Amino acid sequence: MTDSRQPTLEEVARLAGVGRGTASRVVNGSDHVAPRTREAVERAVRELGYVPNQAARALKTRRTDTVALVIAEDEERVFAEPFFAGLVRGISRAVDETSRRLVLSMVPGDAQLARLGQFLTPQHVDGVMVVSLHDGLSLPGNHDLPIAYVGRPQDPDACFVDVDNRGGARQAVTHLVERGRTRIAIVTGPQDMASGRDRLDGYRDAIEAAGLVFEADLVEPGDFSDASGAAGAAALLERRPDLDAIFAANDVMALGALRELSRRGVEVPGDVALVGFDGSAAAAASTPVLTTVHQPLADLGRSLVEVLARRIEDPDAEPGSVILPTRLIEGEST
């Protein structure tokens, strides 16, 4: 009668002539094992057919077939903002096609990032994708792991994918200029992120290219949240009641600004034209339909997975980066 029972780690250790802990270290890919001991354990694994699944594959390839997605924001923001939903959907689909598994972690601050470092090791994941990492935060853990970022990180040698944030902002503001607007304000994204800085730079590029004067009192800081969009519009209107257009650095803030403009009886686009950045479904469903800069989130997610996969396959390859184009979607708000 054939014994269909799966062999145990204890049986592997006994056949190899080592302790269970040593056998476990070999199975889990630890480097702290003598070569002769490793060979004995691996031979025992082969002879017994121990765990012919993920652990056995990891033993052979030194890989887990698991990748981590780390989003440096809290759960409320991740689940509330369409940018994250679209990006995670694109990443998940691309990872599925590689037969790898995806582990998602949302870590809004240093304390959570530090705890995550215990998991970000080659024993748990083959690589890490990082989204929304603010300046001053650093990814803990094993820095030998392949890492790919969404957005340009502070490390100039890191590999990343991004959209053309600066060019997209130029598109948005140039569109407003072409519609005859001359007192164009901006609600910025967070300035501790490359995307926030790039969109402000693109705004300034377009203002200066149009022969207009860059005015600091037409710039209001935001943090990509709905509340900051509404508060930003209110502050701008109080300070510059003569403004005739607002570029909000994402759709969530643009919709917050639209709500505040409506509350104050300001007509869009009659009194103030409005442009967002994302190309979200919420922008298409707003009244009036929001003019917005579309960023291809599915392509962004797929490119991120591809960049990380190349790093996993060839850790010594030169870091690569991908910049995806944006396009203006004209709605009714301009």
pLDDT in tens, 241-260: 999 999 999 999 999 999 99
Q: How confident is the model at residue 1 (pLDDT cuts 50, 70, 90)?
A: very low
Report pLDDT for 30: 65
Report pLDDT for 59: 46
Same domain, 118 and 225: no
Report pLDDT for 267: 98
Same domain, 311 and 275: no
DSSP letter at 7 equals: P
Same domain, 120 and 193: no
Whether residue 267 is contained in a domain is answered as yes
- pLDDT tens digit string along 147-173? 999 998 888 888 999 999 999 999 999
Same domain, 187 and 245: yes
Range scoring the smallest mean pLDDT among 43-57, 120-134, 285-299, 320-334: 43-57
- Domain residues for the domain of 49 are 9-61
Report pLDDT for 142: 55
CATH number for the domain spanning 46: value is 1.10.260.40
Q: Kindly tell me if the per-residue pLDDT of 262 is higher than 90.
A: yes
**Do residues 54 and 65 make contact, with C-beta atoms less than 8 angstroms apart?**
yes
Same domain, 107 and 124: yes
Report pLDDT for 77: 87
Region 274-292: mean pLDDT is: 97
Whether residue 332 is contained in a domain is answered as no
The residue that leads in pLDDT, 38 or 231, is 231
Same domain, 291 and 172: yes
Same domain, 191 and 223: yes
Whether residue 2 is contained in a domain is answered as no
Whether residue 4 is contained in a domain is answered as no
- For the ranges 1-5, 75-79, 196-200, the maximum mean pLDDT occurs at 196-200
Same domain, 309 and 236: no
Of 219, 203, 197, the closest CA to residue 135 belongs to 197
Q: How high is the mean pLDDT of the chain?
A: 89
Region 1-19: mean pLDDT is: 80
Same domain, 182 and 274: yes
Q: What percent of the chain has pLDDT over 70?
A: 93
Whether residue 177 is contained in a domain is answered as yes
Region 263-272: mean pLDDT is: 98
Same domain, 94 and 151: yes
Whether residue 25 is contained in a domain is answered as yes
Q: Say whether 236 sits in a helix, a strand or coil.
A: helix
Of 195, 124, 199, 146, the closest CA to residue 169 belongs to 199
Q: Spell out the SS3 assignment of 283-321.
A: HHHCCCCCEEEECCHHHHHHHHHHHHHHHHHCCCCCCCE
- pLDDT tens digit string along 50-65? 864 554 454 445 678 8
User: How far is CA 325 from each of CA 168, 179, 322, rounded to the nearest angstrom?
Assistant: 8, 23, 10
Whether residue 19 is contained in a domain is answered as yes
Report pLDDT for 50: 82
Give the number of domains in the chain. 3
Asked if the bond preceding 288 is cis, omega within 30° of 0, the reply is: yes
Question: Among the residues of the chain, which ranges form H helices?
Answer: 9-16, 20-27, 35-48, 54-61, 75-80, 82-97, 110-116, 165-178, 194-209, 226-239, 251-263, 281-285, 297-313
Q: Kindly tell me if the per-residue pLDDT of 322 is higher than 90.
A: yes
**Do residues 203 and 174 make contact, with C-beta atoms less than 8 angstroms apart?**
no
Of 191, 265, 209, the closest CA to residue 233 belongs to 265
